[in-house]
Structure 1
């Protein structure tokens, strides 16, 4: 499998069940970045693409990632070391549950494109199914861990199936995390909303909501999508 070439880094992904997809790149492009942000944690790193995007977009000194799968972990480490930002990137080989129970550090930004599982994801590839299976990290565990690791002014960004949006807002509220920004993603103007990109924090504010459409028609990308991803995709 050929490596995936971005404008400022390369991703090798032959050993990862979860290949580069629109979700991760969208989330890494969309998440608001501030100058005060010193530390980032990518939960469920896969290839390491989101952590690398954070290194490209921010001056954060600490950009950590966690990955439980052996092969994906090794590949993320290699992708980090091959980049221009190897000294700021570090990957832990652990489950998120182990990690948040053992680590006392706090992060200014937590970000996750978590494995989720719906009926339409059943494939012939059991490794890929495992990577998609939400039992690997139920939303409850995700938000409990996030609430432990997030600094007081920190933010948590996540991309999820749109149909999970209300359930996740309820779970987050249980650990005093509240949605602050929600962008709902559609493939085309006429298709249904497929994903929600959500930003959470500890203070309740008026939620900013908007919509992002990826294509007007096949391979005719919308201006918004191009503007969002042009720093990363070669052909944008």
Structure 2
């Protein structure tokens, strides 16, 4: 059943009609774009809830930390789970502080300076690792944002090329012969944009949230280093 028959029957052309008019390469590209769309939505929703959960964990741990009378000698009942970014920074900082033992002939001031320097180095390493953890999956999402339109464009160019090639083999070239193939080819560009547009909004939103959390992490690391230095005096 061609497009004219469909319109006469009252159905009219639709997305499914265009899909059936696509060439095999276009159909494969549309299926691939549908898979990328599912992946993009899974990454965006998963990353959103991950960032939200980590921020709540961080705020809870920070409140618990402020209730301690001494952060260098916390009670054994104080929990610092590694899955919480603030707790991971705290654990690394305290371990680094107590790792430096006093040396013979070394003054208290020299020992304190060595320990503080060791803590700052440990915090820098932990901060870099947690920043990478915050930014995980963002590269994959950025790849979908930039690649989906080009993938759709590839299907369109391929489909248009096949459509003109098929019309060229016919004795008479009419718009009715050319239009179905072109319509099916353009569907891949539409599919690529339908994948890329939501993904770019989600990517920008998650990127802004990630930057906020990284800044909060940096501020906590700086405040923690100051607290350790003050308490060690």
Q: TM-score, normalised by structure 1?
A: 0.21
Higher helix share: 2
Question: Which structure ranks higher in relative contact order (CA pairs < 8 Å, sequence separation ≥ 6)?
Answer: 2
TM-score (normalizing by structure 2) = 0.21
